[in-house]
């Protein structure tokens, strides 16, 4: 009986919760707005780890949480982040950007 309940619970995840599960955010007990906020903050930290500073208040002004996540993911894809989002990949992007900046000047 317990296995049926756990299977049913896994199928009722929202799109944002599935994204968080894929990103392996350690705190999965939060649901709803808290889940969206965790994903937003995690994605923002990836952008910063790529070496890009943004004024997030202006950047995300007027967007709901799902639109914020989509906007930050677009920023990450523009920076060259492909596939699974990770800090290692963000550090590599930052190193490439710094090298290109040094060679450019």
pLDDT in tens, 13-70: 777 777 766 654 444 444 555 667 777 888 888 899 999 998 888 988 998 888 888 8
pLDDT tens string 1-14 = 555 555 555 567 77
Cα–Cα distance measured from residue 61 to residue 44, given in angstroms and rounded to the nearest whole number: 14
Q: Would you say 21 and 11 are in contact if contact means Cβ atoms under 8 Å apart?
A: no
User: What's the mean pLDDT in 70-90?
Assistant: 90
Give the domain range for residue 67. 2-104
Number of domains making up the chain: 1
Quick one: which of 2, 6, 30 has its CA closest to 16?
30
This model's pTM is above 0.75: no
Query: In what helix (H) or strand (E) does residue 103 lie, and over which residues does it extend?
Result: helix 87-104
What CA–CA distance (Å, rounded) separates 18 from 11?
Answer: 10
């Amino acid at each position: 009986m317990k296995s049926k309940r756990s299977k049913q619970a896994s199928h009722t995840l929202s799109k944002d919760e599935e994204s968080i599960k894929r990103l392996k955010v350690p705190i999965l007990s939060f649901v709803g707005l808290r889940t969206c906020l965790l994903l937003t903050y995690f994605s923002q930290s990836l952008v910063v780890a790529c070496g890009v500073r943004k004024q997030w208040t202006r950047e995300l002004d007027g967007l709901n949480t799902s639109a914020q996540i989509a906007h930050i993911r677009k920023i990450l894809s523009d920076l060259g982040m492909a596939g699974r989002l990770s800090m290692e990949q963000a550090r590599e992007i930052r190193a490439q950007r710094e090298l290109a900046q040094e060679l450019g000047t």
